[in-house]
Chains A and B, each alone.
Chain A
Amino acid sequence: MGLVKFITRRLALSLLVLFGVATIVFVLTRIIPSDPASLYLGPRARPAEIADIQRRFGFDRPVIEQYAQYMRALARGDLGTSLATKRPVVQELGSRLAATLELLVAAMLLAVVVGIPLGVLSTRLRGGVGEALVRVTSVVGVSMPAFWLGLLLQLVFVHLLGWFPAAGRVDGGLRFVAPITSFTGLNLLDTLLTGNLVAFRDAFMHLVLPAFTLAAYPIGLVTRMTRAAMLEVLSQDYIRTARAYGVAERRVLSRFALRNAIGPTLTVIGLTMAFMLTGTFYVEVIYAWPGLGSFTVRSFLNVDYPAILGMTLFGAAGYVVINLIVDAGQAFFDPRVRVA
């Protein structure tokens, strides 16, 4: 199968997946007993006002009619209006995306910068205490729930040591001292672009704990993947040959072994990024990080139908796209994948 045909087929299947996700989530939100009109108006709204809102949003229509209305709007790119914030869901997505992206990218960078060297290190320290420590670290990273780790880090580094701030992306008073000029919405990048080092430091300090909390799982995963791949590569003949020729061990690991071992790890990193989107739910709530994750959690707690559907679709679309990119990449490099 040609690459174009492969990608086209995958796109069509992806659309089907998104349709299925939208339908399932729609049904689930309608099954859960809730009063969306009270959410929109507040719990003290009078019956007449509630009835008016129900009419306006169609909550009093048959569910199948609401479903059809929703799907028609979705086809137009309209994700509806959040009942809690009263703003278009698309606007909510847009205003929060940068915060979550910054967190995700920082966490992934940490995963790569920490995880890969740790994985390589563990192969150098084989059989020793060092290797055991690295393995324990990677297992803990993979196993520890993000919300627990986040609370633990807050307790130690905020409450006991006072090294980092507890919450938010920047200090509340920063806008009056060193306001950030926003180009991308990524505070670290924007502050560097404008040379605003005061704000850069503040944004950096606020990012450390949330990013590390989110990165714990991928760090553990990347460490283990790298280690396993390296061990396999290190047993190859060409490695033995390189050592026999007297190549420095450091060069053997970095130039010959890691290059050949990194492929599967990079694939996993890409897939993990999509998975980490759900990790942001915990992390953003714990650190009051104003991103997609915290908004999604609040939407679920409020049973804010349009926001729940919008965020779920966005997450599903993100996952589908990343998978598609990874698979397309694999298909590009390995034609056997296109037939499978």
Chain B
Amino acid sequence: MTKKMATREGYGLELARLGEQLPHIVVLDADLSKSTMTHHFAEQFPNRFFNMGISEADLMGTAAGLATTGHVPFASTFAIFAAGRAFEQIRNSIAYPRLPVVVAATHAGLTVGADGGSHQAIEDIALMRALPGMTVLVPADAVEAAQMVQAAAVLGGPVYLRLGRSSVPQLARPDDYQFTVGRAELLAEGDDVAIFACGIMVQAALEARALLAQQSINASVVNISTIKPLDVAAIVEAARVTGCVVTAEEHSVIGGLGSAVAEVLAEHYPVPMERVGVLDTFGESGDPDDLLAKYGLTPNDIAEKSIRVWRRKRS
């Protein structure tokens, strides 16, 4: 059994570790530090941790001000309150002046679970990727989340780091894997269909690949952990090899990874495509796994869409 850990935990632990090395890191939270895992940093560096209370707009603005004095602020709260409630503060106080603030948003997507639809951000990628100059990162596991913290801390511009609540298995990949901003990760090769996934759906895509193999369909799986800037070359190459693609994300099918990939393919290499994601609807309360099943975000759903698009290619 592989090790399981939530990406928010990988984030929080790495932030506390990196705090020693990089004294210019400061952390802000909005009364959720035990959930966003910034409490690890707060315990070790109380002078560099600012709890802004339940004031997300103020959280983003204060982070922006701190960034002007040579600090790299990590501003954390739930994705719904970061990208949603404080969207315009992120736009005008952080992205417009291109300040190096890392908006580290946890509890993204349906797997928030029992808190329900009001708390499940399924449109945050769409909102953040529309902002000029915003780097949008979605780790597939806790290891990648930690590497993204390191990359974001020295990037020098605004970053949206999308993190999840639920534990996810650590991906099987070489020990020397090093995340690089803007580079997609080819996890498995295949020439019948390409599956582009992000976040928790990367593991689901790998499981879908195994299901497809039973039917002699060879799928490639690409982890698109940088949604912006998108690795256009990797996407076009996988589409060229396979001739059809499926995207999988724990996000609305409108405006997220699926849309981003469709934009690239429409302009550079049009091939048949299917999207797995939340179908323009809000979520609801439930166990995370039950929610993923109800809203069509399982390995089976990815496999079905893969077969469908593979048939479309051949017809």
Answer yes or no: do A and B interact.
no
Residues of B bordering A, CB below 8 Å? none
Residues of A bordering B, CB below 8 Å? none
